[in-house]
Amino acid sequence: METDSMKATAVASSNIAFIKYWGKRDTALILPMNASISMTLDDGVSTTTTVEFSGSLAQDELVLNYAPTGGTKLERVSRFLDILRQERGISTRAKVVSINTFPTGSGIASSASGFAALAVAASGALSLSKTPEELSALARQGSGSACRSVIGGFSEWDDTYAVQLQPETHWPELRDVILLVSAEEKTISSRQGMEATVETSALYKERIKNLPIRLGTVRDAIADKDFSTLSTSIMEDSDELHACIADTTPSVRYLTEDSLRIIEAVKRLNSDGEMVAAYTFDAGPNAHIITKEEHLPKILEMIGRLGGFPHLVSGLGEGARLIDDHLF
Ligand code: PMV
């Protein structure tokens, strides 16, 4: 039946970048100034999305975490679906229902998992058979970092799509402990922030020039499961990114006092000679602590010493994929 073939559901996880994407060389197409490398998280930090195209709809509809949603969020989804409608040569509207496994307002950005799930579900609903590379390139047009969430395990996004560096089975002990420092929406979006950094920061120009070396180091450290080298590069990259963001005119700051306390606590954990964990921060104050399973008790103890933060622990996860259970 035509209606059955116009509906599909996909699940996609969030990801955390070890080498951050910051800056576009093409803002319309969302092509990055630099390559980025990330770890795709597990289904505990994921989005499930059902898309149904239907001739009976006058407009696109969006339900996010059980709440009918309009405004800019719906516009962004509609513009994204337009890419596929154009490809199929149709104007049929769609209903999109999406739920996150992590709580709304938890401070975990949902655009990466959200657009990865939407790309796979909408393509599936329209029976457009696409390779993982094509799905990654499509997700990128919704949100840059989403192209990495289409791919499981460790992925690298260099230009139009992300590719897998290593599968999720490569390093099963690796963990990301996500600490909720603040649930407030950031006042400066990553889009605005990166545009301003590209335009005004001199330090950023140095970053772009020097990044190929760190990218090589991280690729090798992942392949060799060299946690110590990987951790050093992860922290360097986060520190450098936030220094460039501070070097932006007018200056921008995403980290709070609590973020800085977490940085110092991780450094103290590592000061006994063994590398226990690495901190990394996106465009917000919430900390991602990359560690190994054996060190989780130390990390939980550290969180306790800091007075406690809501947190969740994720391992490596699979890429975005179609599933049989629809949300409606
Ligand atoms: O995809 P966006 O526009 O939300 O940008 C994400 C930027 C960072 O999260 C800060 C870095 C990254 O590579 O994920």
| Whether the bond into 250 is cis, omega within 30 of 0 | yes
141 lines ligand 1 (CB under 6 A): no
- pLDDT interval class at 102 (50, 70, 90): confident
Distances 302 to 262, 264, 266 between C-alpha atoms, Å:
9, 11, 8
The confidence score (pLDDT) of residue 154 equals: 98
191 lines ligand 1 (CB under 6 A): yes
Mutate to test the pocket of ligand 1, among 20, 80, 157, 178 (most ligand atoms within 8 A of CB): 20
- Amino acid present at 148: R
Secondary structure of residue 40 in the 3-state scheme = strand
CA–CA separation, 220 and 277 (whole Å): 18
Q: Shortest CA distance to 125 belongs to which of 227, 289, 257, 9?
A: 9
Which atom from ligand 1 is nearest to the alpha carbon of 15?
14
The confidence score (pLDDT) of residue 56 equals: 95
- Distance (angstroms) between ligand 1 centre and the Cα of 21 equals 6
- Distance (angstroms) between ligand 1 centre and the Cα of 322 equals 24
The predicted-structure confidence for 235-290, as pLDDT tens digits, reads as follows 999 999 999 999 999 999 999 999 999 999 999 999 999 999 999 999 999 999 99
- pLDDT interval class at 186 (50, 70, 90): confident
237 lines ligand 1 (CB under 6 A): no
Residue 3 has pLDDT above 50, yes or no: no
286 lines ligand 1 (CB under 6 A): no
283 lines ligand 1 (CB under 6 A): yes
Residue 222 has pLDDT above 70, yes or no: yes
Nearest alpha carbon, ligand 1 atom 10 = 282
Mutate to test the pocket of ligand 1, among 161, 282, 286, 290 (most ligand atoms within 8 A of CB): 282
111 lines ligand 1 (CB under 6 A): yes
278 lines ligand 1 (CB under 6 A): no
Read off the pTM.
0.96
Give the 3-state secondary structure percentages of the chain, helix then strand then coil, rounded to 5. Answer: 40, 25, 35
The confidence score (pLDDT) of residue 2 equals: 45
- Distance (angstroms) between ligand 1 centre and the Cα of 57 equals 33
Which atom from ligand 1 is nearest to the alpha carbon of 111?
4
Mutate to test the pocket of ligand 1, among 21, 155, 198 (most ligand atoms within 8 A of CB): 21
Residue 9 has pLDDT above 90, yes or no: yes
DSSP H helical ranges for the chain: 2-5, 71-88, 111-125, 132-140, 146-149, 190-200, 202-224, 227-246, 257-269, 296-305
- φ, ψ (nearest 5 deg) of residue 215: -60, -40
The confidence score (pLDDT) of residue 106 equals: 67
Mutate to test the pocket of ligand 1, among 145, 244, 254 (most ligand atoms within 8 A of CB): 145
- Amino acid present at 210: N
